[in-house]
Amino acid sequence: MKIKILLSTIAVMAMLPFNAGVATAQQYPEAPQYPEAPAGGNESPESSQLLGDTLITTKVKAELAITEDIKSGDIAVQTIDGVVILTGTQPNEMLIRKAEAIAMSVQGVKKVDSSGLVVNTTTAD
């Protein structure tokens, strides 16, 4: 299951540059050269942050998926303005702290809110 999640995450990350409309003159040498756009281009700060938040969420999910003992399928990840919000369950408090540390280690993360991540008190027999 973790391999499936990891492969899906890698596929999403590989597609991000295409969705952002990234193209360079080197890729299309026959394209006419235009003067550079003013600083900031036509991307709004919100769209830049959205792309950054999406990338952070993807990276956190990927790291959780490949970490031993973490039940990544039981953790939902959301990022808002660089703040990662983890919700769901884990078997014990130690794994919650581990998930929190993994999220904090991802570049671009400003803060991790794991208050929605709780210990699963029910046991499966």
* Helix, strand or coil, per DSSP, at residue 85: strand
pLDDT of residue 122: 79
Could you tell me if 20 and 52 are in contact, meaning their C-beta atoms sit under 8 angstroms apart?
no
Average pLDDT value over all residues in the chain: 78
> Domain extents for the chain?
2-16+45-119
Q: Could you report the per-residue pLDDT of 76-125, keeping only the tens digit for each?
A: 999 999 999 999 999 999 999 999 999 999 999 999 999 999 999 876 54
Q: Could you report the per-residue pLDDT of 11-70, keeping only the tens digit for each?
A: 666 665 554 444 444 444 554 454 554 454 555 556 566 679 999 999 999 999 999 999
Q: What does the alpha-carbon distance between residue 47 and residue 74 come to, in Å, rounded to a whole number?
A: 29
For the whole model, what pTM was predicted? 0.62
Strand partners, 118: 89
Could you tell me if 33 and 25 are in contact, meaning their C-beta atoms sit under 8 angstroms apart?
yes
H-run or E-run covering 117? strand 111-119
Q: What does the alpha-carbon distance between residue 52 and residue 59 come to, in Å, rounded to a whole number?
A: 11
